[in-house]
Amino acid sequence: MTPSLDELNRAPLPQALALLDGLYEHSPWVAERALAQRPFATLAALHQAMVQAVRQATPEEQLALIRAHPELAGKAMVAGTLTAASADEQTRAGLTHCTPEEFERLHALNAAYRARLGHPFILAVRGPDGRGLTRHDILAALQRRLDQPADEERAECLRQIHRIAELRLSERFGQPPRLGLRVWDALQALAQHSESPWAEAGQLTVTYLSAAHQACAHTLQTWMQQAGCDEVAIDAVGNVVGRYHGVRPDAPRLLLGSHYDTVRNAGRYDGRLGIVLAIEVVRELRALGQRLPFALELVAFAEEEGQRFPVTFLGSSALAGTFDPAWLDVRDANGVTLRAAMQQAGLPGTMPAIAALRRDPGQYLGYLEVHIEQGPVLARAELPLGVVSAINASLRAHGCFEGLACHAGTTPMTARRDALLGLAELALAVERCARQQPGSVGTVGVAQVDGGSINVVPGRCTFTLDLRAPSDPQCDELARQVWAEAEAIAQRRGLRLQLQPTLRAAAAPGDAALRARWRRAVQRLGLPVLELPSGAGHDAMMLHRILPQAMLFVRGEHLGISHHPLESSTAHDIDLAAQALLQLLRDWAEELA
Ligand code: HGY
Ligand code: MN
Ligand code: MN
């Protein structure tokens, strides 16, 4: 018989404890301390209470909790003495079917891990969707974490223990992350569209208007139609736009969206999560026959990452009315202009068609974007969701140092104008300048010696700059310092410098009223509310120019690593984000009813 939360809230302590038995291996004290917080509004609130009970425990109790967990494919599994839950989890992950080589490697890695860290390696082997990691994933995780700093590893083991408890809890109380699993599965499906040569390597790269990009657009168009959007179309810049009408045809619209292009060798969640989550929310409303006093307008923005062309936010700039006509003439690495790329993809590629996409702010209530955090704050706080206070200001530039290519063997060190050394000095100067101000970051992400050869002094070096800071003045000051450094280096080394800004996105504070709506929705889920800044740029920065906007962050696994194949969020966290959006929409609808 599946217990209910209400039953747990009302049961005498011994019965309540029995309902939570085994969630934390051989450690009933966690549930016992959490139960002091009864009643719980939601299962997520109960889980959070257990997380907090561990966070407030002594280091000795935390270490004992870690040590109470079994090794993976360890002695207990072999001896058949695992708890039922651990046995089930290790079986689902295939650990009972290791090849002799896998078993030997796991055994050796476990031994090395325990020898170094003094406790077992803990991993929620059911993985982000709860259906089970592969043995390859498990071995890779153990290998990857073997050399982590001890304190970081202990924190990660506790995060994994809370993930194990979360999976056990939702199963025991019959509350699977239904919406989250639908989003999670869709993200894996969407990731099948990738471009060469990354696709052949099993990696994800989808840059603006490539064949893979166009395949993503058609897939999203189909999904929006199937979910119940009343109108769906691909617009003049490749945005996929779906509308779920409100109760009245002239109802105001609420814009929801994110981007579906990716960086190279990307993760599967950046941008796309916010699109697919909005689609699943529409599907949920449609299935319940619910219409809102406002229309939902879903936008899958076609380009946000600036990977193919040296311009970015093409999709959201079109809606904000800030698409620069000069962008149509910028060229990609193959010399193809943006205009030609658009026309080759069947898009008009003309400013009148693009300018027509500008949204009339008077028709909109605002813009909401759900996005992975792409950082470690929520993971370290052990919270699934966070409300974005503001998006940092950012500046991007493309540059080139030009010296003199010459013979590496005959040219004395005192007679060189080495372009690469100029860039090397600049990269270190960027780091030094950015470190001087809290919250500032600076990156030289792309650096290449044009036509370089092993025995030629680099004559020409092209590079990119990415500078960011919590405020516009701080970002501008960082840029001023970096430009001054670049010019001084060029002067000193006899190099010619070109350094051209390609993007300047102003800091975008979240709209106070919309942030309050996100906060209330998260609270209604029974979760603590954490507000945090975004170091990453988002389409919301462009919509910020014409509409009130606010974002919700979803925790990332692996300390929120992003722009990397390890990027990941769990179906449970994604489900909570979808529930938060639904809650926000319903609260708003109630106010307007
Ligand atoms: O670079 C960024 O901040 C974003 O992921 N495009
Ligand atoms: Mn990104
Ligand atoms: Mn993004």
Q: Given 505, 527, 557, which residue is the final one in a domain?
A: 505
Tell me if 159 sits within 8 A of 127, measured CB to CB. Answer: no
Whether residue 212 is found in the same domain as residue 350:
yes
What CA–CA distance (Å, rounded) separates 534 from 509? 10
Give the dihedral of Cα atoms 376, 379, 383, 385; nearest 10 deg.
50
**Ligand 1 neighbour 305 (Cβ under 6 A):** yes
Q: At 460, give phi and psi (nearest 5°).
A: -145, 130
**Ligand 1 neighbour 242 (Cβ under 6 A):** no
Q: pLDDT 10s digit of each residue in the chain, 593 long?
A: 899 999 999 999 999 999 999 999 999 999 999 999 999 999 999 999 999 999 999 999 999 999 999 888 777 777 788 888 888 888 888 888 888 999 899 999 999 999 999 999 999 999 999 999 999 999 999 999 999 999 999 999 999 999 999 999 999 999 999 999 999 999 999 999 999 999 999 999 999 999 999 999 999 999 999 999 999 999 999 999 999 999 998 899 999 999 999 999 999 999 999 999 999 999 999 999 999 999 999 999 999 999 999 999 999 999 999 999 999 999 999 999 999 999 999 999 999 999 999 999 999 999 999 999 999 999 999 999 999 999 999 999 999 999 999 999 999 999 999 999 999 999 999 999 999 999 999 999 999 999 999 999 999 999 999 999 999 999 999 999 999 999 999 999 999 999 999 999 999 999 999 999 999 999 999 999 999 999 999 999 999 999 999 999 999 999 999 999 999 999 999 999 999 999 999 999 999 98
Shortest-distance Cα residue to atom 6 of ligand 1: 305
Whether residue 142 is found in the same domain as residue 191:
no
**CATH number of the domain bearing residue 437:** 3.30.70.360
Whether residue 75 is found in the same domain as residue 210:
no
- pLDDT at position 593 is 84
Q: At 221, give phi and psi (nearest 5°).
A: -60, -45
**Ligand 1 neighbour 303 (Cβ under 6 A):** no
Whether residue 333 is found in the same domain as residue 308:
yes
Whether residue 131 is found in the same domain as residue 213:
no
Q: Given 149, 172, 195, which residue is the final one in a domain?
A: 172
For residue 54, the CA-to-ligand 2 centroid distance in Å is 33
Which atom belonging to ligand 1 lies closest to the Cα atom of 374? 5
What CA–CA distance (Å, rounded) separates 593 from 231? 24
For residue 116, the CA-to-ligand 2 centroid distance in Å is 35
**CATH number of the domain bearing residue 255:** 3.40.630.10
Whether residue 327 is found in the same domain as residue 359:
yes
Q: Given 451, 480, 505, which residue is the final one in a domain?
A: 505
Whether residue 22 is found in the same domain as residue 103:
yes
Tell me if 387 sits within 8 A of 577, measured CB to CB. Answer: no
- pLDDT at position 366 is 98
Whether residue 486 is found in the same domain as residue 583:
no
For residue 299, the CA-to-ligand 2 centroid distance in Å is 16
Whether residue 223 is found in the same domain as residue 166:
no
What CA–CA distance (Å, rounded) separates 548 from 328? 28
Tally the domains of the chain. 3
Tell me if 159 sits within 8 A of 55, measured CB to CB. Answer: no
Whether residue 62 is found in the same domain as residue 155:
yes
**Ligand 1 neighbour 266 (Cβ under 6 A):** no
Shortest-distance Cα residue to atom 4 of ligand 1: 537
Q: Which amino acid is at 249?
A: P
For residue 172, the CA-to-ligand 3 centroid distance in Å is 35
pTM of structure: 0.92
Cis preceding-peptide flag for 177 (omega within 30 of 0): no
Tell me if 203 sits within 8 A of 265, measured CB to CB. Answer: yes
Whether residue 489 is found in the same domain as residue 529:
no
Closest CA to 296 of 375, 381, 227, 236: 227
Domain extent for 459: 394-505
**Ligand 1 neighbour 537 (Cβ under 6 A):** yes
- pLDDT at position 162 is 98
Which atom belonging to ligand 1 lies closest to the Cα atom of 535? 3
Whether residue 444 is found in the same domain as residue 525:
no
**CATH number of the domain bearing residue 126:** 1.10.3330.10
Tell me if 122 sits within 8 A of 161, measured CB to CB. Answer: yes
- pLDDT at position 75 is 77
Q: At 205, give phi and psi (nearest 5°).
A: -140, 125
